[in-house]
Structure 1
């Protein structure tokens, strides 16, 4: 366990989305590093994590995220606004824009948006709906009089144990399309949160910080699954990337509703992006905070066994 008491107590972090999985972890790491924390929550929210945030030492500020004046008051005195909000255009673009405007008006010098993904700057528009929204907000952020820093971490490694249908534990296969030797970036939610907290309290961060708990190919994941379970895993190639692209179009067309944040076709888009190699993160800034120990794919897969 890392001893964060070695770090100086400095900075007041304004955190939006602290009741979500990633946000709650960020909150914990900010406090462990000695930072002051103000958690913005929706008025009237009875989320079970609010009392836990209070126990951590966070100041809970209930706000109407549609009211810029309330947001300005809530952001007052902050050294960095961190967004861990999740949603579609109304949240990623519109709500974050109001939060950004409030941060600027309150004089907050820095802003970390809710990116936490592959490098969307390298992807063509239309290849991923959720990342297109982040690109749209990024344009607004770049034009604001504030210092922005995006954390790009590839895919959350945790998804390999269930939500991302890549490691098929029942049949002992690793599913893929295209090239089994294409390097991809994976970082656990916890490691991403630890890095984000460090970046939030670091006044010298650049526009982008790219990290990967492990860079792994499909064959590397196959080896990791074998080691994690003690059972021999193989690979299963389902076709070309072009075939996967066709599957995405069909699945999206047949989807009963497209207002979910993570419908099946959205996950397929993300996997297609990663397997294409286009959004590969480079250069990696893993060593910026050397106290962080990165969790390997094998360690995450072992939790499933």
Structure 2
């Protein structure tokens, strides 16, 4: 099946899978603000969620789809100029559902596909160091076998996690927790900025296989300076140990609390931190300047907003 050509004046049609999630919802909103025709692919039991109601009110088309059926997905993708996946889950979703989605996109004649990668550069990591990123690498191998123009967007760590979920900035004792080298450069990008960049990329037919962005590149000492500036109080450093100790802690935690069916068990976040502190998945070169209209949010601003709440 091939899609019909779109006139130069017609808005692009972007199909977004995972639009009920935080990132997917933001991507869909950014696309609508840019004048795109947005088709949100949702499961039949999610059409009454607040995010879907909001997107419908903003002009998005809500398309209920069976993610287990390539036929259903193909019908939902037909006529789209790009399919963006913001799906989140374990192997059945990241490998299984996304494989069906990209095959459906190919069958529908969609020219471009953006997978749900949104991470540090997992292409530089050895297998076994991060379960969730191993799944993305497994899907990458399948994706690259498909006759479709794919673009992965890599954004480091979501900067928003520094306000609590990622235990690096300890607001109580006013310390920055870390392992290894306090001068290792790390990549951080807010969810909102990642969504804005993804929307711009979805509307850009010239994107390469990978796009790498970082709202701010900062070492642990840089995070320390940002926290001190944001709060007006001096933060210190707390080195928990070397990377070998962190690796041992990951093994112990994974043994005691395996939580195999959870997407983000405690040891998964620890794996992500270990990956970042090794420096292996550092994003380079950065494509921050590709869309000049995007203003990148610094760490200090994110931490300051937490203080204001």
> TM-score, with normalisation over the residues of structure 1?
0.97
Structure 1 SS opposite 2:268: helix
Residue 242 in 1 paired to residue 250 in 2? no
Kindly state the Cα deviation for residue 56 of structure 1 after the two structures are TM-superposed.
1.4
Kindly state the Cα deviation for residue 256 of structure 1 after the two structures are TM-superposed.
4.9
Kindly state the Cα deviation for residue 55 of structure 1 after the two structures are TM-superposed.
1.0
- Which of 74, 78, 86 is matched with 1:84 structurally? 86
Kindly state the Cα deviation for residue 304 of structure 1 after the two structures are TM-superposed.
1.7
Q: In the aligned structure 2, how far is the partner of 1:78 from the partner of 1:233? A: 49
Residue 134 in 1 paired to residue 136 in 2? yes
Q: In the aligned structure 1, how far is the partner of 2:58 from the partner of 2:17? A: 16
Q: Which runs of 4+ in 1 moved over 3 A?
A: none
Q: Is the 8 A contact 1:10 1:201 kept in 2?
A: no
> TM-score, with normalisation over the residues of structure 2?
0.95
* Structure 2: gaps of 5 or more residues: 1-8
1:211-256 CA-partner distances (Å, limit 9, x unpaired): 0000000000000000000000000000000100000000000015
Q: In the aligned structure 2, how far is the partner of 1:215 from the partner of 1:152? A: 13
Kindly state the Cα deviation for residue 257 of structure 1 after the two structures are TM-superposed.
2.3
2:269 aligned residue: 267
Structure 2 SS opposite 1:13: strand
* Structure 1: gaps of 5 or more residues: 1-7
- Which of 88, 100, 111 is matched with 1:98 structurally? 100
1:89-136 CA-partner distances (Å, limit 9, x unpaired): 000000000001100000000000000000000000000000000000
Q: In the aligned structure 2, how far is the partner of 1:148 from the partner of 1:259? A: 29
1:120 aligned residue: 122
Structure 2 SS opposite 1:19: coil
Q: How many residues align?
A: 298
1:183 aligned residue: 185
Structure 1 SS opposite 2:39: strand
RMSD between superposed Cα atoms in Å: 0.8
Kindly state the Cα deviation for residue 10 of structure 1 after the two structures are TM-superposed.
3.0
Structure 1 SS opposite 2:237: strand
